[in-house]
């Protein structure tokens, strides 16, 4: 029953997210291509109906960041990667490949602050 209510709420939030979709930042083609190259080092682990994940996905949309998304609810491989790599199955989590390793960033507000600072609008 709790699961059903949670899923229903998730669908309602997804609907409102779709209705009130954020405006996208516009960049020159060159600038956008450079950003998309940098995005190859980033992956967002998330659940479709999780409100914190929807908040981060809205930021991705607003900042025009077509990042790879992995659904850690429906994709067992993604769930396992998150569990082993990040240390727990909690979403959203941003996987950041850096020069000397991989960083797993939890907490939607931290992820949003990181994206806004790295890809300013
Ligand atoms: N404060 C966290 C909350 C994230 C959160 O509660 N996510 C839920 C899904 S909506 C989750 O992953 N729960 C599993 C857990 O906490 O182990 C954020 O803002 O990212």
pLDDT in tens, 67-83: 999 999 999 999 999 99
- Specify the pLDDT at position 23: 87
pLDDT at 1 over 90: no
State yes or no: pLDDT of 54 exceeds 90.
yes
Q: Ligand 1: distance of its center to the CA of 93 in Å? A: 9
Residue 46 has what pLDDT?
A: 98
Give the confidence band of 60 by pLDDT, cuts at 50, 70, 90.
very high
> pLDDT tier at 105 (50, 70, 90 boundaries)?
very high
User: For residue 6, what pLDDT is reported?
Assistant: 87
Compute the distance from residue 119 Cα to the ligand 1 centre, in Å. 24
**What is the number of other CB atoms lying within 10 angstroms of the CB of residue 119?**
18
24, two tokens:
């996208």
The pLDDT-based confidence of 7 (bands split at 50, 70, 90) is confident
Task: Output the residue whose Cα is nearest ligand 1's atom 15.
Answer: 90
Look at the block and give the residue holding tokens 């907490």.
Answer: 107
Tell me, rounded to whole angstroms, the distance of Cα 91 from its chain centroid.
9
User: Which of these CATH numbers, 3.20.20.140, 3.30.70.1140, 3.40.30.10, 3.60.9.10, describes 2-118?
Assistant: 3.40.30.10
Q: Which atom in ligand 1 lies closest to the alpha carbon of residue 106?
A: 20
Domain spans, the chain = 2-118
SS3 per-residue string spanning the chain: CHHHHHHHHHHHHHHHHHHCCCCCCCCCHHHHHHHHHHHCCEEEEECCCCHHHHHHHHHHHHCCCCCEEEECCCCHHHHHHHHHHHCCCCCCEEEEEECCEEEEEECHHHHHHHHHHHCCC
Give CA angle at 52 (33, 9), nearest 5°: 120
Mean of per-residue pLDDT scores for the chain: 95
What pLDDT does residue 17 have? 87
Output the ligand 1 site: residues, CB below 6 A.
47, 50, 52, 90-92, 107-109
């Amino acid at each position: 029953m709790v699961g059903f209510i949670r899923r229903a709420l998730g669908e309602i939030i997804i609907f409102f997210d779709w209705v009130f979709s954020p405006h996208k930042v516009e960049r020159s083609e060159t600038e956008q291509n450079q950003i998309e190259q940098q995005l190859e080092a980033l992956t967002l682990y998330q659940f479709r109906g999780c409100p914190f994940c929807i908040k981060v996905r809205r930021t991705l949309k607003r900042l025009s960041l077509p990042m790879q998304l992995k659904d850690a609810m429906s994709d067992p491989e993604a769930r396992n990667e998150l569990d082993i790599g990040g240390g727990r199955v909690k979403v959203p989590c941003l996987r950041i490949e850096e020069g000397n390793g991989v960083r797993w960033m939890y907490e939607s507000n931290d992820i949003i602050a990181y994206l806004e600072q790295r890809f300013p609008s």
